Structure 1
Amino acid sequence: MIGFAKLLWHPGAAEMAHVELPSTGARIAFLLASFAIVLLFEAAFPLFSYGRSDRMRNIGRNAAITVIFVGVNLLLSPLSPLAAQWTLDAKFGLSHWLGLSPLNQLLLGIIGLDLFAYFAHVSMHKLGWMWRFHRMHHADRFVDVTTTFREHPGETLWRIGWHIAGVFVFGTPAWVLVTYLTLSALNAQFEHANIRLPERLDRWLRLVFVTPNMHKMHHSRHQPETDSNYSNLLSIWDRLGGTYNRGPRFAELRYGLDGFDDPEKQSLRGLLKMPFMRDWGRVDARPDDKSDRSAPPPVLPWP
């Protein structure tokens, strides 16, 4: 933390070629700790009460996918710091061209990288071939904190490509990149969590951040609802992009995708091969306006 404070308040700190960053192990341990805390909140204040056996099977699948997700990220982890180091050495990107202070580099980096994350997410819904990768995430019928990293390796590559592009455009230093990715991962766990915030608190928080109530709409089976609330950390992008939706009526909310509920598609093997199965789902493999509303909703434990 002392090193981080120096970066913010010492004018010459931004020009340091080598900044001490938290180790990969420390970052993983931190995220695991936050994951455990969110699980406790889900147990204490659940939004939906799921059947125990179904949820445990789903947690097992999501845990296996999370292991793959972490492995792919570790394998590709050198790419982003290399991009950040190149922008520093070449004095490339808006941060360097504008001569920003470390504090302004932090603000620009978080805002800019989050904008690119929004573009990446929208593109996965609009490009048919990318949607086939992204639908693994949306096919989850039991959205909770374990859904956070339920991401196909092909989607991971796409997202990493976009934030590397953001590093180049904004000249993002490595310490800003690590800060943003950590905040993004923390909020992703929070927004997928099977909890519901008091409406007033949620309304205030979503003026700036993506909240659980806001993001739940994005996991609806109903396509107009699925194609909304794409923002990653900051909620402003949906407001500016015309993709903002105030939030779901929880008693009517159904998670998942039509045509993807059967055991074969929900198995680990089925999820991994999902992008390559053109005959799965609708003609264009997208959620349909006429979602199946016949299945009973999960039980709401409290209004």
Structure 2
Amino acid sequence: MESLLNYFETIPSHHRAFIIAGGLTFFWLLEGIMPLFGKPYKKWQHAIPNIFFTITTILVNLPLAFLLLQCSDWVVVNDFGILNWLPEMPRWLYVILGLFLMDLIGAYLPHFIEHKIKPLWMVHLVHHTDHNVDTTTANRHHPLESVIRYFFTLIGFLIIGSPIGIVMLYQSLSVVATQFNHANIKLPKRIDTMLSYVVVSPDMHKVHHHYRLPYTDSNYGNIFSVWDRLFGTFMAMDTDDIVYGVDVFPDEKKNGHIGELLKQPFQKYDKPTMEAEK
């Protein structure tokens, strides 16, 4: 466990790039073998805006990485944060607890907040207006959301008092987990259900991408599914009934255009509120 943390404390940039590109390639190929939805769509054309936003996310995160390192030094020197206030524990338990806390405070709660505060929801909409959710959707985030998410992560990092090794480990696991649960793959129902008791499975997360409430406001989990079940935000739905997108921005052509997506957070709704599905 110590060697694992040591590796992620100094993980080279090209290794992180390999994790992103490798996971994307693997799940992209898997989608062709065992697709969830047989609906035909131009996969390469669909991927263009999503890859663009993946690149912008990387470009936003790279120059801000020094903040994580500075915070890491600060929490260690000042013995600050939840992990530093707990009694001494085995290293493996320390790492697992750190990952769970990062998932709760740095991912689940920010995602929940983004859905509840309208200006943040408008920025987050870019992720939801994808009409053909697949593994490339995982990093389809407006550059403003990349900044917002980064600072949520930073705040979570300070609260938890996590060393940089756990943060880098969590972020690496998060990349692969989101590529997996967004992937357009069809697992055997029993396996998907069993997985969903521990981690966010593809079927579980696809419910979150249904175009209407209350399903859009459910299944906020990033890696671990326990938070949705614990806080009552878990919902299930037959995947055959899922329709991707958001009802207030229904134009699929515009939602696949980079320029339109960059402007989307600043546009008004086509109608005042989203109506809950009966």
Check whether the contact 1:221–1:288 (CA below 8 A) recurs between aligned residues: no
Aligned to 1:217: 207
2:123 touches 2:142 (CA, 8 Å); kept in 1? yes
Match of 2:153 in 1: 163
Aligned residues, how many?
Answer: 275
- Counterpart residue type for residue 288 of structure 1: E
Contact 2:9 2:164 (8 Å CA) reproduced: no
Superimposed CA distance per residue, residues 271-292 of structure 1 (whole angstroms, 9 cap, x where no aligned partner): 0111111x243325xx43359x
User: How many Å separate the matches in 1 of 2:60 and 2:127?
Assistant: 16
Q: Distance in 2 between matches of 1:19 and 1:40?
A: 27
User: Cα RMSD over matched residues?
Assistant: 2.0
Q: Deviations over 1:99-123 (max 9, x none)?
A: 5343233122111111111110000
Indicate whether 1:88 and 2:76 are aligned. Answer: yes
Deviation, 1:21, is 1.7
Which one of the candidate residues 50, 53, 58 is aligned to 1:62? 50
CA distance in structure 2 between the partners assigned to 1:83 and 1:263 by the alignment = 42
Q: Which amino acid aligns with 1:83?
A: C
**Structure 2 residue aligned with 1:153, among 120, 143, 146?**
143
Pair 1:230-2:220 in alignment: yes
Deviation at 1:52, TM superposition (A): 3.9
| Inter-partner Cα distance in structure 2 for 1:20 and 1:112 | 18
Structure 1 position 98, deviation (Å): 2.2
Pair 1:123-2:113 in alignment = yes
Per the alignment, in what secondary structure is the counterpart of residue 111 of structure 2? helix
TM superposition score normalised by structure 2: 0.92
Cα deviation, 1:93-150, whole Å, max 9, x if unaligned, reads 1222225343233122111111111110000100011000000000000000010000
Identity %: 33
Q: Which runs of 5+ in 1 are unaligned?
A: 8-17, 292-303
After the TM superposition, which residues 8-47 of structure 1 pair with which residues of structure 2 at under 5 Å, given as runs? 20-47=9-36
Partner of 1:288: 275
| Residue 126 (structure 2) aligns with | 136
Tell me which structure has the larger Cα radius of gyration: 1
Query: What is the TM-score of this pair, normalised by structure 1?
Result: 0.85
